[in-house]
């Protein structure tokens, strides 16, 4: 048993982190690409050969062999946004199953387990191995397997004479969810409420800090480089940075583990506290991905919305593949009217290409082509049929965004989201009062508008805010989010310094919209004319004349506080609000950086992490900064929250005061 335990421990130490040594790239590689590579290598079953075998008698499985995939909820959430069913089939996965579900033996097929390292999961794995459910067991954990659980696994398998069935034990260090090339979530729930609740114990806070630091350690190992750490002083971000620095230093001092490439470019990892900018979390946005997240409850790249089918409202889900969805990749950060135009263009392009193929084959529809028995006797016909799968896939993407656009247009019409967005750009007392006192308006939207005004307007009048909140309470006395306003008002003194900084002229000026959208004043009529044509295509009529009239206002943007910090980092401008740690320096050497990297020098790439929750508005703003400066910015948060979810945490804090 001792030798088996030693071998298991060696396996974990030797192959921990992303499978294989990351390639050296001139800038920080795409986090999605690196994660995808790690997962596909995990499924290939060919990593490290004999070094990753638990014993000489371990079954040898070739990379192309069929296998089953066993997941728990965390493993599923990590894998689903990155690999689709086609990817799994290409990797030889015949079926994927839940660890907790009843499963029949498949003793001639190896099994890959991808689960979180918990005591319950280890117990279930031991039972599976002892029952000889599969030919061989490849055990992969989303984060580091604790020594105690490793010993439990080894001892139990030796006692049951089943140790020889374990082919591999690996720490993948992937306890985060990659949503796009430059977007991830640590999936740490309620971090903001935990940090700010008066009843949070030291042990709970310690657990939160370690959970976030562990997730960020996984991000760093997946990218393959040790970053310089910059952090907001005096709150949770500083605690997490200190913990993360220790983890990174310990790992970097052991080059045998293969986690980091010493020659890889070093990004700057910026840890910020949500408390410094609350308005971003409740503001209304006009950007496509932010609208989808806010209105349609986007979760792990899955959209849920109601669509019309034969006159009936049907609830449907749509999955966004961040790797292949060409509309999402190109337009998710654009103002919604521009996306509507782009969908219209793609639809017309598809129709023309489909018509060209139908003309070449003589078929009357693409569906008919799939069942044609006509011999392929011409090169033209063969070429047309070769194009069919890609064209069909494009049509699915277009259909998805047509239906998503339809749902968003309905919400815009029902809730007046256009007017709310325009009002938040100007924040005049008269406009806010008019909306708040309109009984037809949604009370949650009113509350969000009031909070944006209170948090960002120049010298907001307390009497006005109190009067507006009283109107909302009268309209919706049972609204669960009202306590959020109570908590924010109680925190007003603490927020005053931050708000004053946010309202400097440079910070208050709207950022120039991306991709030439700043010319909205001159081009708005033409843009929204095409938008109206799409609305007609979607059979929603032309009830959007008000959109045309306010085009210039809607293309303004709320500027998150994170943007100012990141601009300083990318430009090499000193920012006294951020501390500095370098894990490559000797322990105790703080405030400097190693390897000739200057903390005040412009950074080529940055990983920005918001402790307390983030959203798509903030993500897209940072991507705008990255594009304008031709740098790479990866954005992450303890969790991705829409406005209602964040208000719920604020309301918890408000209720705790009573």
**What pLDDT, on the 0 to 100 scale, is given for residue 560?**
75
Q: Determine the average pLDDT of the residues in 581-607.
A: 72
Q: How far apart are CA 275 and CA 70, in angstroms?
A: 39
pTM: 0.84
Q: Which segments within 498-651 are labelled E, that is strand?
A: 578-581, 605-611, 632-637
Q: How do residues 176-235 score in pLDDT, each as one tens digit?
A: 999 999 999 999 999 999 999 999 999 999 999 999 999 999 999 999 999 999 999 988
**Res 399: pLDDT:** 94
Residue 14 — pLDDT band, cuts 50, 70, 90? very low
User: Pairing mode, if any, of strands 268-273 and 228-232?
Assistant: parallel
For residue 600, the model assigns a pLDDT of 63
Pick from 116, 128, 124, 44: which is nearest to 78 by CA? 116
Q: What is the mean pLDDT of residues 379-384?
A: 64
Q: What is the pLDDT of residues 90-110, one digit of tens each?
A: 999 999 999 999 999 999 999
Higher pLDDT, 553 or 381: 381
Whole-number mean pLDDT of the chain?
Answer: 83
Helix, strand, coil shares of the chain, percent, nearest 5, are 55, 15, 35
Instruction: List the one residue out of 291, 288, 295, 296 whose CA is nearest residue 328.
Output: 288
Q: Please give the average per-residue pLDDT across 114-129, as a whole number.
A: 98
**Would the pLDDT of 589 be above 80?**
no
pLDDT of res. 374:
52
Name the band, by pLDDT with cuts 50, 70 and 90, for residue 306. confident
Write down the pLDDT at residue 501.
Answer: 52
User: In this predicted structure, what is the pLDDT of residue 385?
Assistant: 67
Strands (E) located in 116-207:
137-141, 166-171, 177-180, 183-185
Q: pLDDT category, 308, cuts 50, 70, 90?
A: confident
Q: What is the pLDDT of residue 255?
A: 77
From 107-116, 245-254, 468-477, 499-508, the region with the lowest mean pLDDT = 499-508
Over residues 8-14, the mean pLDDT reads: 41
Answer for the pair 283, 617: CB distance below 8 angstroms, yes or no: yes
pLDDT at 381: 62
Residue-level pLDDT at 514: 38
pLDDT > 70 in the chain, percent: 76
Region for 310 from its dihedrals, namely left if φ exceeds 0, alpha if ψ lies in -120 to 50, beta otherwise: left
pLDDT at 384: 66
Query: Does pLDDT of 558 surpass 70?
Result: no
Is 135:110 a contact under the CB 8 Å cutoff? yes
pLDDT of 8 above 80: no
Q: Is residue 553 pLDDT above 80, yes or no? A: no
* pLDDT over 90 (residue 402): yes
- Within 8 A by CB and 6+ apart from 407, the residues are 295, 296, 305, 306, 307
Q: Is the model's pLDDT at 156 over the cut of 60?
A: yes
**146 burial via Cβ count (<10 Å: 0-12, 13-18, 19+):** middle
**More confident position, 64 or 426:** 426
* b/e 223-261 (16+ beta carbons within 10 angstroms → b): bbbbbbbbbbeebbbbbbbbbbbebbbebbeeeebbbbb
Could you report how far apart the first and last alpha carbons of the chain are, in Å? 57
pLDDT in tens, 504-524: 433 333 333 333 333 333 333
Name the more confident of 442 and 511. 442
Residue range 348-361, pLDDT digits in tens: 999 998 887 777 66
Nearest to 295 by CA among 450, 404, 397, 183: 404
- The answer to whether 435 touches 460, Cβ cutoff 8 Å, is no
pLDDT (tens digit per residue) in 317-349: 999 999 999 999 999 999 999 999 999 999 999
| Neighbouring residues of 526: CB distance < 8 A, sequence distance ≥ 6 | none
Q: Give pLDDT, residue 343.
A: 95
Read off φ and ψ for residue 22, nearest 5 degrees.
-60, 145
Q: What is the pLDDT of residue 493?
A: 55
User: In angstroms, how far is CA 8 from the centroid of its own chain?
Assistant: 33
> Which residues, 6+ apart, have CB-to-CB distance to 234 below 8 Å?
none
Range 116-122 contact pairs with CB under 8 angstroms and sequence separation of 24 or more: 116/72, 116/74, 116/75, 116/141, 116/142, 116/143, 116/175, 117/141, 117/142, 117/143, 117/144, 117/145, 117/146, 117/149, 117/171, 118/149, 119/149, 119/152, 121/72, 122/149, 122/152, 122/153
Residue 22 in this model has a pLDDT that exceeds 90: no
pLDDT band per the 50, 70, 90 thresholds, residue 366: low
Burial class of residue 605 in the structure, from the number of CB atoms within 10 Å of its CB (0-12 exposed, 13-18 middle, 19+ buried): buried
């Amino acid at each position: 048993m001792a030798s088996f335990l030693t071998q298991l421990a060696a396996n974990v130490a030797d192959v921990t982190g992303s499978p294989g040594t990351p390639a050296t790239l001139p800038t920080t590689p795409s986090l999605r690409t690196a994660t995808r590579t790690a997962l596909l290598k995990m499924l290939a079953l060919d990593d490290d050969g004999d070094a990753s075998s638990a014993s000489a008698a371990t079954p040898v499985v070739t990379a192309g062999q069929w296998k089953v995939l066993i997941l728990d909820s965390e493993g599923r959430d990590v894998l689903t946004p990155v690999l689709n069913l086609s990817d799994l089939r290409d990797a030889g996965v015949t079926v994927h199953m839940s660890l907790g579900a009843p499963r029949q033996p498949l003793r001639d097929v190896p099994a890959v387990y991808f689960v979180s390292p918990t005591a319950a999961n280890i117990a279930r794995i031991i039972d599976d191995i002892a029952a000889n459910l599969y030919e061989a067991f490849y055990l992969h954990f989303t984060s580091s397997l604790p020594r105690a659980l490793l010993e439990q696994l080894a001892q139990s398998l030796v006692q049951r004479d089943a140790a020889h069935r374990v082919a591999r034990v690996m720490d993948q260090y992937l306890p985060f969810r990659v949503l796009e090339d430059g977007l991830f979530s640590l999936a740490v729930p309620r971090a903001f409420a935990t940090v700010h609740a008066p009843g949070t114990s030291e042990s709970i806070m310690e657990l939160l800090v370690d959970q976030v630091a562990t997730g960020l350690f996984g991000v760093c190992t997946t990218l393959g480089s040790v970053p310089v750490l910059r952090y907001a002083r005096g709150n949770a971000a500083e605690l997490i940075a200190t913990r993360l620095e220790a983890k990174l230093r310990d790992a970097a001092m052991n080059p045998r583990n293969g986690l980091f490439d010493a020659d890889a470019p070093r990004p700057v990892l910026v840890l910020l506290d949500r408390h410094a900018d609350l308005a971003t979390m409740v503001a209304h946005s006009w950007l496509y991905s932010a609208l989808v997240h806010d209105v349609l409850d986007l979760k792990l790249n899955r959209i849920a919305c109601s669509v019309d089918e034969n006159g009936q409202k049907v609830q449907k889900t749509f999955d966004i593949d961040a790797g292949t969805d060409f509309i999402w990749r190109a337009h998710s950060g654009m103002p919604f009217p521009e996306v509507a135009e782009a969908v219209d263009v793609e639809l017309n392009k598809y129709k023309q290409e489909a018509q060209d193929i139908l003309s070449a084959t003589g078929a009357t529809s693409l569906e008919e082509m799939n069942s044609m028995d006509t011999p392929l006797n011409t090169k033209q016909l063969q070429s047309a049929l070769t194009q069919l799968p890609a064209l069909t896939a494009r049509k699915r993407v277009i259909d998805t965004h047509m239906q998503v656009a339809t749902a968003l247009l309905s919400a815009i019409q029902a809730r007046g989201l256009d007017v709310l967005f325009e009002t938040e750009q100007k924040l005049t007392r008269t406009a806010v009062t008019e909306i708040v006192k309109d009984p037809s308006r949604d009370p949650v939207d009113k509350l969000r508008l009031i909070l944006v005004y209170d948090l960002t307007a120049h010298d907001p009048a307390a009497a006005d805010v109190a009067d507006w909140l009283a109107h909302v309470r009268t309209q919706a006395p049972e609204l669960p989010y009202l306590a959020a306003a109570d908590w924010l008002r109680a925190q007003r003194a603490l927020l005053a310094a931050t708000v004053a900084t946010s309202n400097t002229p440079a910070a208050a000026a709207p950022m120039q919209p991306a991709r030439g959208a700043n010319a909205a004043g001159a081009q708005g009529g033409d843009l929204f004319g095409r938008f109206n044509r799409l609305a007609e295509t979607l059979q929603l009529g032309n009830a959007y004349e008000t959109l045309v009239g306010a085009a210039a206002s809607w293309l303004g943007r709320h500027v998150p506080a994170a943007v100012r910090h990141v601009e300083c980092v990318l430009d090499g401008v000193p920012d006294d609000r951020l501390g500095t740690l370098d894990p490559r320096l000797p322990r105790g050497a703080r405030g400097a950086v190693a390897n000739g990297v200057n903390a005040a020098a412009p950074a080529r790439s940055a990983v920005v992490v918001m402790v307390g929750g983030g959203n798509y508005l903030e993500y897209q703003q940072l991507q705008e900064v990255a594009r304008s400066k031709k740098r790479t910015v990866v954005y992450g948060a303890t969790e991705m929250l829409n406005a209602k979810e964040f208000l719920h945490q604020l309301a918890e804090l408000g209720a705790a005061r009573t």
